Homo-oligomer: A and B are copies of this chain.
Amino acid sequence: MRGKRQDVTVSPNGRERPIDRERLVVAALDLADEEGGEALSMRAVAKRVDRQVSSLYNHVSGRGELIELVRARIVASIDIGAFDHEPWDVALEAWAKSYLRAFAAHPKLIRLLATTPIRDVSTFAMYDAVVTSLVSSGWPIQDAVAVMRTVEAHVLGSALDIVAPGDMLAQSAVPAELATIRAALDPAHAESYGAGPAFRLGLEALLSGLRARRERLTH
């Protein structure tokens, strides 16, 4: 479709820039990053690439496919290499940290992607790597998805916390009569109570609890 005359526009530097899926994915990602997942529509993407909505349908079947292309773009940045050679819990921890970085870069897309039925095959390929590691380490196949899914939920909630401004929880905003939370938010403890340290503390606890559960299954 790329060569079609109606799909060619002139960029500011004078070169003709054909519309292709790559440009549409980038435009969709930028749009959602700026205005939120709710704003992602064929009409808004068309406006962003300066085309008629109808011409977008030469490249994607609709909003659903755009969302899955955006999902695939983010998933491509998540490292699943550890599942090949590390024990399940070590690999899960590395995956969770990489997953956090990938989604912390796109916080306004988290809700949309977490609540839109997955059709992107690359996402299922990632899940296959996770679940294969769990099952070959002795997790029952009927529990593997729940283990993966709760780690994902932990990561996505933490990604929202990580992108919050530094004064999200500010001692100065707490009235004096709430003495304990006020003391806990002493800036002297900031290195312990930040979103990053909290994520690492929680991930470690979650994995420790999962290990204990896995060990109980064996005995």
Interface of A with B (CB < 8 Å)?
A: 35-39, 107-108, 110-111, 114-119, 121, 124-125, 127-128, 131-132, 135, 141-147, 149-158, 160-161, 163-165, 167-170, 173-175, 178-185, 189, 192-195, 197-199, 201-210, 212-213
Contact = CB atoms under 8 A, between A and B. Distances in A.
Contacts of A208: 205, 208-209, 212-213
A135 B206 CA distance: 21
Q: Closest 10 CB pairs between A and B?
A: A150-B202, A157-B157, A205-B209, A153-B157, A145-B193, A208-B209, A209-B209, A146-B198, A156-B157, A36-B38
Contacts of A199: 150, 153
A109 to B, nearest CB: 10
Contacts of A158: 150, 153, 157
A135 B193 contact: no
Contacts of A145: 169, 181, 184-185, 189, 192-193, 198
Given A111-B107, A111-B110, A154-B202, A149 B180 contact: no
Contacts of A108: 38, 111
A175 B212 contact: no
Nearest to A197: B146
Contacts of A181: 124, 127-128, 131-132, 145
Contacts of A152: 157, 161
Contact of A213 (B35, B144, B153, B205): B205
27 contacts: A36-B37, A36-B38, A110-B111, A111-B160, A115-B163, A117-B170, A117-B173, A118-B168, A125-B178, A128-B179, A128-B181, A141-B180, A141-B184, A141-B189, A142-B184, A142-B193, A143-B201, A144-B184, A144-B193, A145-B193, A146-B193, A147-B198, A150-B198, A150-B205, A153-B158, A153-B202, A154-B206
A15 to B, nearest CB: 34
For this chain, the copies found in one complex come to: 2
